[in-house]
Amino acid sequence: MKTRTFSSVLLLLSILEIAALFFFALLETDNSQDAVLINECLHCVQDDWGHMQNHQNKTSLDYVALDAKGAVLFRTKPDLSESVHEAILHRDTILDVQSDGSAAGKLIINNDSPKVIRTQKQRVILILCFMVLLQCMVCLGHALYLNHTIVRPFHALEGFAKRVAGGNLDIPLEMDRENLFGAFTESFDIMRSELKKAKIAEAKANACKNDLVARLSHDIKTPVASIKAASEVGAALADSEKTKNNYLQIIRKADQINTLITDLFAAALEELEELSVIPEDLKSEELKKILENSNYPGLAEIPRIPGCILYADRLRLQQVFDNLFANSYKYAGTKIDLSLLLESSFLVVSIEDYGGGAAPEDLPHLKEKFRRGSRTEAVEGAGLGLYISDYLMREMHGELALENGKNGLKAMVKIPLSGTI
C-alpha cells in the first residue's frame, strides 16, 4: 500500500513539472505598449518641456527625455537607454516631443518585455526546483522506509543465519509482524526452534547410545576377564607345551577382544575429546617398556633407544603402540621391523611389517573413523584403532603418519621431545 502511495505521489509531481514546462512554452508575452499611457506620458512631458527640472512622472512607465541635441533632460531611473541608437537596440518606443509646433526633442519609453519574460522564467524555475526538491524528499522518505522494512530485516536475517550455522540456536530472531516480511522472518525463527528441538533430541539419543555402549562394554569385559583368568591358571597347570600354547593363544585373543571393546567404547563417545590426554615428561627407558608390552608375540626386535626425555601421556602412548602392533599381527602376521630416529624435535618410531602394504587409494583414508583397507576384508575389525591413535598423537602434539614401505605398511609415530612444545 505504501509503495502504491509513493508511486502515485511521484507520478503527480512529474505531471505538475511537465504541466509547468508546457505552460511556460505556450505562454505568449504581450510586447505591445499601452497607447493611452504613452499618450498621457507624451503630453505630460510636452507640458513641462520648458522646465523639465521640475517635471514629475505621473504614469507607471519608465522613460527618458532628450533635447534636440541628444542631451538627457529627464529620466525615471538610471539604467535606461540614453540615445536613439540604444533605444533602437533595446526595442524601446521613440516619440517626437513637440514644442511651439516644432520638434524639440525625443521621448524614449522603456520596453520592459525582457524583464517580464525573465520574471516568468525565474518563476517557472523556482516552481520546478521546488517540485524536484519535493521529489527528492519523497524518494528519501521511501528509501528510509525500504531500509526499515526490507534492508534491515534482511541484515538481521543474515546475522541470524550465521548464528544458526555456528550452532547458536538459543537467540530468537527479532521480527515485526506488521512488517512486509514479518511472516517470512517468522518462518526462519520456527526453523531455529525446530532445529533446537532436533539437536536436544539428538543429544538425548547420543547419551542413550553411549550409555548402552558403556553397559555392553562392561558386560562383555567381565566374562572376557574370567576367560583370561581361567586360561592363565590353565597355562600355569598345563602338563604339556602344546596345552600351554593353546591356553596362551586364548589369553592373547582375550586381550585382543578387550582392546577392541575399549576402542569401540572410545569411538562411541559423543566427542572424542572426552578421552583425557595428559602429556608429561617421560624418560626414553619408559618407551622401551611400552614397546615390550605391545610386542607380546615377540615378532619385533626392539633396537637401542636414544637417551632423551619425551613429552607424552604414558597410558595413551601405550594404547597407540598396542593398536599399531595389533594391526600388524592381525592383518600381516609377519615379523616387524622396528627403528628409532631422533629427528628435529621428535623421536620417530617406525613400525613396518611384511604384509605388502595397503592399496594406494586406501592409504589416505586409513586414519578415518570406521575405514578399513580393501585388502583386509577377510579379517574382522572395526576400523577404529588408527582413528583413535591418530587423535591421541595429535593431542600429545605428535603425529601418526602412514605410508607403504619396502615390504609392507609403515607407521611412523612422531613423539615430541620435552621442552620443544
CA distance 66 to 97: 9
Domain boundary residue, one of 248, 270, 292: 270
Residue where the block lists cell 536475517: 157
Q: What pLDDT score does 176 carry?
A: 59
Does 216 fall in a domain?
yes
**267 or 314: which leads in pLDDT:** 314
Per-residue pLDDT band at 279 (split at 50, 70, 90): very high
Q: What pLDDT score does 130 carry?
A: 84
Q: What pLDDT score does 394 carry?
A: 92
Q: What pLDDT score does 126 carry?
A: 85
Q: Are residues 104 and 120 in the same domain?
A: no
CA distance 357 to 406: 9
Q: Are residues 151 and 208 in the same domain?
A: no
Per-residue pLDDT band at 308 (split at 50, 70, 90): very high
Residue among 415, 402, 408 at smallest CA distance from 343: 415
Q: What pLDDT score does 1 carry?
A: 47
Q: Are residues 241 and 348 in the same domain?
A: no
Summary mean pLDDT of the chain: 80
Quick: pLDDT tens for 165-218: 766 766 666 655 555 555 666 676 777 778 778 878 877 777 677 666 666 665
pLDDT at 378 over 90: no
Residue among 89, 401, 379 at smallest CA distance from 256: 379
Does 353 fall in a domain?
yes
Residue 76's domain is classified under what CATH number?
3.30.450.20
Q: Are residues 366 and 409 in the same domain?
A: yes
Least confident of 53-62, 84-93, 163-172, 393-402: 163-172
Strand order in the sheet with 72-75: 72-75, 63-67, 102-109, 93-99
Residue 410's domain is classified under what CATH number?
3.30.565.10
Q: Are residues 284 and 325 in the same domain?
A: yes
Does 41 fall in a domain?
no
Does 8 fall in a domain?
yes
pTM for the whole structure: 0.43
Quick: pLDDT tens for 234-247: 888 888 888 888 88
Per-residue pLDDT band at 6 (split at 50, 70, 90): low
Domain boundary residue, one of 215, 239, 270: 270
3-state SS string for 106-168: EEEECCCHHHHHHHHHHHHHHHHHHHHHHHHHHHHHHHHHHHHHHHHHHHHHHHHHHHHHCCC
First to last CA, the chain: 67
Per-residue pLDDT band at 270 (split at 50, 70, 90): very low
Q: Are residues 106 and 125 in the same domain?
A: no
Q: What is the extent of the structural domain holding 130?
A: 2-27+115-160
Does 320 fall in a domain?
yes
CA distance 38 to 208: 113
Domain boundary residue, one of 228, 248, 270: 270
Q: Are residues 390 and 324 in the same domain?
A: yes
Does 34 fall in a domain?
no
Q: Are residues 127 and 212 in the same domain?
A: no
Structurally, the chain folds into a number of domains equal to 4
Does 38 fall in a domain?
no
Q: Are residues 57 and 144 in the same domain?
A: no
Q: Are residues 86 and 217 in the same domain?
A: no
Q: What pLDDT score does 417 carry?
A: 93
AA identity, residue 164: V
Per-residue pLDDT band at 77 (split at 50, 70, 90): confident
Q: Are residues 175 and 226 in the same domain?
A: yes
Residue 221 to residues 218, 225, 260, 322: CA-CA distances in angstroms?
Answer: 5, 6, 10, 18
AA identity, residue 327: N
Q: Are residues 7 and 147 in the same domain?
A: yes
Does 259 fall in a domain?
yes
Quick: pLDDT tens for 317-364: 988 998 888 888 878 788 899 999 998 899 999 999 988 888 888 888
